[in-house]
A and B are shown apart, each in its own frame.
Chain A
Amino acid sequence: MKNPREILLARHGQVMPKLDAIREQVLRTALVTDRAGSPEQPGARVNPDIGWLGQFWRQLFWQPRRVWLGLACAWGFMALVNLGLSDSMPRSANQASAEVPTMMVWQAQQRYLEELILLTDAVAPEREPAPAPPQPHSQGPCEWMGFLDQAGTPVGYATQWTCV
Chain B
Amino acid sequence: MLAVACDNSIQVQDARRGDADAWDALFRRYQLPLYAYVYEWVRQEQTTLDIIQETFINAVRHIGRLEDDGKFGSWLFSIAHQKCIQQWRQSGRQPAMLEIADADGEGPFREDDSPADLLIRREQEEAFMKLLSQLPVPQRSALILHFLEDFSLEEIAEITGAQLGTVKSRLHYAKKALRKLLQEEVE
CB neighbours of B45 from chain A (8 A):
15
Segment at the interface with A among B77-85, B112-120, B164-172: B112-120
B53 CB contacts on chain A under 8 angstroms: 22, 25-26
The residues in A between 1 and 42 inclusive whose CB is less than 8 angstroms from any CB of B are: 1-5, 7-9, 11-13, 15-16, 18-20, 22-23, 25-27, 29-31, 34-35, 38
A8–B122 contact, CB under 8 A?
no
Instruction: Check B137 for interface membership: any CB of A closer than 8 A.
Output: no
Task: Determine the distance from Cα of A20 to Cα of B20 in the docked complex, in whole angstroms.
Answer: 14
Whether A2 and B125, one on each chain, are in contact in the complex, defined by CB atoms closer than 8 angstroms, is yes
| Contact residue among B4, B27, B28, B122 (Cβ-Cβ distance under 8 Å from A2) | B122
Contact assessment for B116 and A3 in the assembled complex, using a CB-CB cutoff below 8 Å: yes
Would you give the shortest CB distance from B33 to chain A, in whole angstroms? Answer: 7
Chain B nearest Cβ from A12, distance in angstroms? 5
Asked whether A22 lies within 8 Å of B18 as measured between CB atoms, the reply is no
Q: Which A residue sits closest to B18, measured CB to CB?
A: A35
- Interface pair A26/B35, CB less than 8 Å apart: no
B122-158 toward A: CB 8 Å interface, digit per residue (1/0)? 1001001100000000000000100110000000000
| Interface assignment of B24: CB less than 8 Å from any CB of chain A | yes
Q: Which among B60, B115, B121 is the interface contact of A31 at CB below 8 angstroms? A: B60
Which residues between 144 and 162 of chain A lie within 8 Å of chain B, taking CB atoms? none
A2 to chain B, nearest CB (A): 6
Q: Which residue of A lies closest to B116 (CB)?
A: A3
A38-B52 CB under 8 A given contacts A19-B35, A31-B23: no
CA distance A19 to B57 in the complex (A): 13
Task: Report yes or no: A4 in contact with B32, Cβ–Cβ below 8 A.
Answer: no
**A4 to B115, alpha carbons, bound, how many Å?**
7
- Give the CA-CA distance A22 to B23 in the complex, in Å: 13
Q: Which residue of A lies closest to B3 (CB)?
A: A5
- A19 to chain B: which residues have CB within 8 Å? 31-32, 35, 49, 52
B37-61 residues with Cβ-Cβ distance < 8 A to A are 39, 45, 49, 52-53, 56-57, 60-61
B2 at the interface (CB under 8 A from A): yes
Q: Shortest distance in angstroms between A37's beta carbon and chain B's nearest beta carbon? A: 9
The 10 closest A-B pairs by CB, nearest first: A4-B147, A26-B56, A1-B119, A30-B60, A19-B31, A23-B27, A8-B36, A30-B57, A22-B53, A5-B147
Show 22 residue pairs from A and B whose CB-CB distance is below 8 angstroms, ordered by the A residue.
A2-B119, A3-B2, A3-B119, A3-B147, A4-B115, A4-B128, A5-B2, A5-B4, A8-B144, A9-B148, A15-B49, A22-B49, A23-B27, A23-B31, A26-B27, A26-B57, A27-B24, A31-B20, A34-B18, A34-B60, A35-B18, A38-B18
